[in-house]
Structure 1
Amino acid sequence: MAKILIVDDDAAFRGSLAEMLQDLGHVVLQAEATDAGLHRLRTENVDAAIVDLRLPGEDGLAFLRRAAGISPVPCIMLTAYASGGNTIEAMRLGAFDHLTKPVARAALVETLERALRRDADTPDRPQAAVAAPGAREPVDGSELVSSSEAMRQVFKRIGMAAGSDATVLVLGETGTGKELVARALHRNSGRAAGPFVAVNCAAIPAELMESELFGHVKGAFTGAVHERIGRFREADGGTLFLDEIGDMPLSTQAKILRVLQEREITPLGASRVQPVDVRIVAATHLDLPAAVKAGRFREDLWYRLQVVPLWLPPLRERLGDVLLLAEHFLRLLGGDPPKRLSATAARLLLAHSWPGNVRELRNAMERAAILSHGSVIEVEHIGLQAAAAPAPGLDIDWDGPMALAVARVEREMIVRALAATAGNRAEAARRLGLSRQQLYRKLAEFDLD
């Protein structure tokens, strides 16, 4: 039996949640605002808190900030208004988890049980991160927009990783938004006031890579008429984003490994090392384990990079985001009111396979906004190729038994999740919205273990 604090201004929801928790044998405390909840936290021996994001006066994020100085109690955030920004911020401030309303009873009970187990195992849990200056959702188009559970798991990981200097490796197909994730990590970190420097490793010739990254002294080579500090020193005190690191030459990979280990560089032609204070975020669309086996990528660098791996799902696996993102891009393009999609245009977007992912969708919306003279975007303005054929591997008899069709879809989704996460079953389970135990049962059921 545990003592659970509920902070929510919706009396009906608070009452029903309290009743459910009491049925489970817990003692329940209730508060309808942040100040009242913090008073309960100071005066009662609370084991866990369930806190709504939107509260009268100070919101649930303020509760998290202030609660960290009172008690290391695990806090579960609830909201009906989830966004990339508030999910990342809640996790960065130390929330145990961030769930969306309406929340399923089983999901809430499972999360609460995990929170209570962790609190029992680690009574001296570290306090939440200090608020970073500028850790606000941007309004320049670089915010992360999604309503899918797979992306919500990404947002949570960004929030948990943002407060540290741990190296992050972002994996995903071209156009899925890997640089946006890197910028979100920087924006929500203690380095937010420092520089964010992005380098596209695939766009730099191999012979210029080391000079570009590490800099050179005057006279280091023919044509080096001036000193160059290099991208690592440009990013000092901030974040260096190494995009498409899978395309980096092997010779440079060895030097990157040393930088990650020693936090120092040697500019070309220099005799002394230079210390650097940077956080490294790397990204690639390549299958790095396959590149390691083929000898194109160093195995030791692969292990060094994936301290915190993040997998971004392709747009075709989160079709619920297509119209949300399309409308978001149209708002960014301006207009009073912004242009909108016709019903047939919306159906076209949902039928497309989006091989270029979010980048392709954004380009399509820009094109459509230019070509449409009125306020409504029609099919002819979008200019997409014909809808792609159904995904390969799904040989389903649509007139047969439903159980067999559902089983084939489940198997295909599990296979794709495992492939996208390089066989990491814990990450695959998160992508699929399953517990690890559920995934293991499915793997056995479909002979995939």
Structure 2
Amino acid sequence: MALILIVDDDTAFRMTLAETLDDLGYQVRQAGSCEAGLASLGDGAIDLALVDLRLPGDDGLAFLRTAATTAPGLPCIVLTAYASGSNTIDAMRLGAFDHLTKPVGRDELAQALARALRAHQPAVAEAVDDDTQAGEQMLSNSAPMRAIFKRIGLVADSDNSVLVLGETGTGKELVAQALHANSARAAGPFVAVNCAAIPAELLESELFGHVKGAFSGAASDRLGRFREADGGTLFLDEIGDMALPTQAKILRVLQEREVTPVGGRQAVAVDLRVVAATHRDLEAEVAAGRFRADLWYRLQVITIKLPPLRARDGDVALLAAHFLRQHAHGRAKRLAPAALAALQGHPWPGNVRELRNTILRAIALSEGDLIDVEHLGLDAAPATEAATAATATAPVTVAATPAGTAEIDWDGPLDRAVELLESCMLRRALAVADGNRSEAARRLGLSRQQLYRKLAQYDIE
């Protein structure tokens, strides 16, 4: 019977979790701090640790760092109510096996424990999270993106080539930057090249450099992007648009780790990692003879496929709020309920880039602090148009309290309608989350502090 250590300062949660583990057939040892947890490790016999991210004194990451040396190979699963891209990546870099977001379901917990014990390898940890996630470049609360963050953390320290796939605007360069920033090459240069933006006849000189006099206009030597990225990471964006002759030379650089400048005779060694990206289906491109199969095999040592924004449940509201904070220049810009509904109903063919540009446009076009549908400039889908027409002529009934309903007066004050809708959404999110405020905040795309302020504003217990 496996012995599991729970390290969590929330006594009620720790006791509940211990009861669940006991029901699942595990032995349990408990600790209320990082220091107490490490002391328990010193007693030996621990098979797996469940560690809260936020602890008094040293946090869950400190536990993982120390456990890696004092109990190497111990699977650790970090529990957190504050999930973000950076803390997931940091966790995986520390060798964490997986992470669970509070509240933890019994089935999810059982499956994670079984996987971790079976694999018997280090597990999850999460870095301390800023509740607003304001410093994050990659924001998401969706399961598909959480899987991406884990994968980045797992492979960041590897020098293997990475192929990033995804539609236009999904954030492929952000993935490349995250891989670089979390690697041993972080102190080196990060060099990005958009292969589709450079004419084919100039791309070789751009990538490999040239010697003086190599061609008309080559007035001096040029290093080229491969040599500029020496010691760091080279990001080749839209590599699927690259001409076949250039592809052959890229393949040779990846194989030999040396570059020969255009017009030069002497190869120069380079030490770098290559991350490539494309929105194209490279397998289809290979079949059509437009992309070299050997280069495709070389690039896809590690593949990361980004989901489109429409497949990232809840992220439209989260990202819209982030872009408002980031670009409103201190003004208290906010989305009207109808505007948020329009954003959530839009298919986003341009993905996160399109959403960002939409918010920037709305900030510029809205005179007051409230951003409405007309400020977004979206092409309304028929369903959206029909819904807009219906709300113009008919009252809408929303649940105001668990015991009753309230009707929005569409001819009344806007502030009152917004307050009523917000209050109803807050109550509904709390009800769906069984009163768990962290889960309710996640569903609403709010930080926990923002949720608390809203609950106080509407006097919701």
TM-score when normalising by structure 1: 0.81
**Distance (Å, rounded) in 1 between the aligned partners of 2:279 and 2:301:** 18
Match of 2:294 among 254, 276, 300: 300
2:86–2:136 Cα contact (<8 Å) kept: no
Offset from partner CA, 1:106-147 (integer Å, 9 cap, x none)? 11111111111111xxxxx68999x9xxxx999887610011
Offset from partner CA, 1:44-70 (integer Å, 9 cap, x none)? 221111111111112111211221111
Residue in structure 1 matched with residue 34 of structure 2 by the alignment: 34
Larger Rg: 2
Query: Aligned AA for 1:298?
Result: R
Residue in structure 1 matched with residue 86 of structure 2 by the alignment: 85
Coordinate RMSD, CA, aligned: 2.3
TM-score when normalising by structure 2: 0.79
Percent identity of equivalent pairs: 67
Query: Aligned AA for 1:367?
Result: R
2:78–2:123 Cα contact (<8 Å) kept: no
Residue in structure 2 matched with residue 211 of structure 1 by the alignment: 205
Residues 305, 225 of structure 1: alpha-carbon distance in 2 compared, 3 angstrom cutoff: same
Structure 2 residue 273 is the aligned partner of structure 1 residue 279: yes
Measured after TM superposition, the shift of residue 356 of structure 1 is 0.6
**Distance (Å, rounded) in 1 between the aligned partners of 2:279 and 2:342:** 27
**Distance (Å, rounded) in 1 between the aligned partners of 2:226 and 2:136:** 23
Give the 3-state SS of the residue equivalent to 2:50 in structure 1: strand
Q: How many residues align?
A: 381
Residue in structure 2 matched with residue 181 of structure 1 by the alignment: 175
Residue in structure 2 matched with residue 256 of structure 1 by the alignment: 250
Offset from partner CA, 1:6-59 (integer Å, 9 cap, x none)? 111111111111122222222211111111111111222211111111111121
Residue in structure 1 matched with residue 403 of structure 2 by the alignment: none
Offset from partner CA, 1:238-263 (integer Å, 9 cap, x none)? 11110001011111111111222221
**Distance (Å, rounded) in 1 between the aligned partners of 2:327 and 2:135:** 10
Structure 2 residue 309 is the aligned partner of structure 1 residue 315: yes
Give the 3-state SS of the residue equivalent to 1:98 in structure 2: strand
**Distance (Å, rounded) in 2 between the aligned partners of 1:282 and 1:137:** 32
Query: Aligned AA for 1:32?
Result: G
**Distance (Å, rounded) in 2 between the aligned partners of 1:66 and 1:59:** 11
Residues 264, 64 of structure 1: alpha-carbon distance in 2 compared, 3 angstrom cutoff: same
Residue in structure 1 matched with residue 110 of structure 2 by the alignment: 109
Residues 233, 388 of structure 1: alpha-carbon distance in 2 compared, 3 angstrom cutoff: farther
Measured after TM superposition, the shift of residue 310 of structure 1 is 0.7
Gaps of 5+ in 2: 385-461
Query: Aligned AA for 1:108?
Result: L
Give the 3-state SS of the residue equivalent to 2:234 in structure 1: strand
**Distance (Å, rounded) in 1 between the aligned partners of 2:310 and 2:19:** 40
**Distance (Å, rounded) in 2 between the aligned partners of 1:114 and 1:146:** 25
**Distance (Å, rounded) in 1 between the aligned partners of 2:200 and 2:134:** 33
**Distance (Å, rounded) in 2 between the aligned partners of 1:51 and 1:139:** 22
Residues 68, 325 of structure 1: alpha-carbon distance in 2 compared, 3 angstrom cutoff: same
**Distance (Å, rounded) in 1 between the aligned partners of 2:159 and 2:219:** 35
Residues 234, 142 of structure 1: alpha-carbon distance in 2 compared, 3 angstrom cutoff: farther
Structure 2 residue 325 is the aligned partner of structure 1 residue 331: yes
Moved more, 59-68 or 333-342: 333-342
1:9–1:33 Cα contact (<8 Å) kept: yes
Match of 1:168 among 152, 162, 175: 162
Give the 3-state SS of the residue equivalent to 1:216 in structure 2: coil
Measured after TM superposition, the shift of residue 367 of structure 1 is 0.5
Residues 242, 203 of structure 1: alpha-carbon distance in 2 compared, 3 angstrom cutoff: same
Match of 1:159 among 117, 131, 153: 153
Measured after TM superposition, the shift of residue 323 of structure 1 is 0.8
Query: Aligned AA for 1:58?
Result: D
2:75–2:123 Cα contact (<8 Å) kept: no
1:340–1:375 Cα contact (<8 Å) kept: yes
Query: Aligned AA for 1:37?
Result: G
Give the 3-state SS of the residue equivalent to 2:4 in structure 1: strand
Measured after TM superposition, the shift of residue 277 of structure 1 is 1.0
Give the 3-state SS of the residue equivalent to 2:379 in structure 1: coil
1:199–1:242 Cα contact (<8 Å) kept: yes
Structure 2 residue 163 is the aligned partner of structure 1 residue 192: no
Query: Aligned AA for 1:24?
Result: L
**Distance (Å, rounded) in 2 between the aligned partners of 1:232 and 1:137:** 39
2:189–2:231 Cα contact (<8 Å) kept: yes
**Distance (Å, rounded) in 1 between the aligned partners of 2:44 and 2:77:** 18
Offset from partner CA, 1:136-195 (integer Å, 9 cap, x none)? 999887610011000000000011011211211111000001111111111111111111
Query: Aligned AA for 2:198?
Result: I
